Amino acid sequence: MSEDKKTVAKKAPTKKAIVKKVVAKKTVAKKVSAKKTEADLPRVKSTKKGNDENRLRILVKAYEPKVLDISVKQIIDTAKRYDAEISGPVPLPIEISKYTVNRSTFVYKDAREQFEIRVHKRLIDILNPNPKLIEALTNLSLPSGVDINVKMG
């Protein structure tokens, strides 16, 4: 009880004192922000290499991960044989497609089955590929069920 009386007895600061504190804080904040220059800000690293550098981006897709890993290993071995700089294989997120189907044709709507298709993906970058390497990759025989997309850029 005595503590409540003490807090009530204290005088509230005047409006002039509050205004002076607020003005002082604003000027300090302005001075601090004025000191920051471009050298103080953190630099963002560019993910792109130089424009003169060629890149072969290979996206490999398959339903089975074992078959996918075997084909990626063949691609990497071929690239290493021609002394190419390789980045990857980078595992990309698995694309899952789910399908729900009625078990019976006409009745029993509550009885359903669910199926899913999983597409596994890997990304390989080959930097500065030479023409012999590109020819060797086109002649490469890979297992069935493996889809390859090649982009130059």
From 124, 46, 59, select the one nearest 85 (Cα to Cα).
124
- Give CA–CA dist 10/12, Å, rounded: 6
Residue with tokens 């490469």: 140
By CB atoms closer than 10 A (0-12, 13-18, 19+), residue 129 is: buried
Q: State the amino acid at position 114 in one-letter form.
A: Q
Half-sphere exposure of 78 (CA within 13 A, CB side): 22
Residue-level pLDDT at 74 = 92
Average pLDDT across each block of 10 residues of the chain; the chain has 153 residues. List them in order. 50 56 48 46 45 79 93 91 88 94 86 94 90 88 90 84
Strands (DSSP E) contained in the chain are: 55-62, 85-102, 112-127, 146-152
Residue-level pLDDT at 28 = 45
Residue-level pLDDT at 70 = 92
Residue-level pLDDT at 68 = 93
Residue-level pLDDT at 110 = 86
Residue-level pLDDT at 34 = 46
**pTM for this prediction:** 0.60
